[in-house]
């Protein structure tokens, strides 16, 4: 795989990936955790973390990206509260 660089907040990206992978490992007693990277085009990558763990209850799916949405608004100047 070629060396890639991230033209954004690499520490935040690193934190998101560490959290996703750590949670996948933590909640997967049996089976596997896979991390896949797909080049969508020369400017975009898709990173997929897939596991055979217990999963997220369907009623909680709408809430899992709430803080991420706040972060995006904050970075764009539209949200002043805590992330």
Instruction: Say yes or no: 80 and 48 in one domain.
Output: no
What pLDDT score does 81 carry? 53
Secondary structure (DSSP) of 27-79: T-SSS-EEEEEEEEETTEEEEEEEE-S----GGGGGGTTHHHHHHHHHHTT--
pTM: 0.61
What is the domain extent for residue 76? 55-83
Do residues 71 and 37 both lie within one domain? no
Q: Which tens digit of pLDDT belongs to each residue from 13-49?
A: 888 889 889 999 999 999 999 999 999 888 888 889 9
Query: Number of structural domains, the chain?
Result: 2
Bridge partner residues of 36 (DSSP): 48
- Are residues 43 and 63 located together in one domain of the fold? no
82 with 67, same domain: the answer is: yes
Residues 14 and 32 in one domain: yes
DSSP β-bridge partners for residue 49: 35
């Amino acid at each position: 795989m070629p060396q890639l660089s991230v033209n954004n907040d690499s520490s935040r990206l690193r934190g998101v990936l560490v959290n996703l992978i750590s949670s996948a490992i933590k909640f997967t007693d049996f089976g596997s955790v896979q991390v896949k990277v797909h080049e969508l085009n020369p400017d975009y990558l898709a990173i997929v973390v897939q596991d055979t763990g217990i999963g997220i209850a369907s009623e909680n799916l709408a809430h899992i990206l709430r803080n991420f949405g706040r972060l995006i608004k904050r970075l764009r100047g539209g949200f002043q509260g805590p992330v």
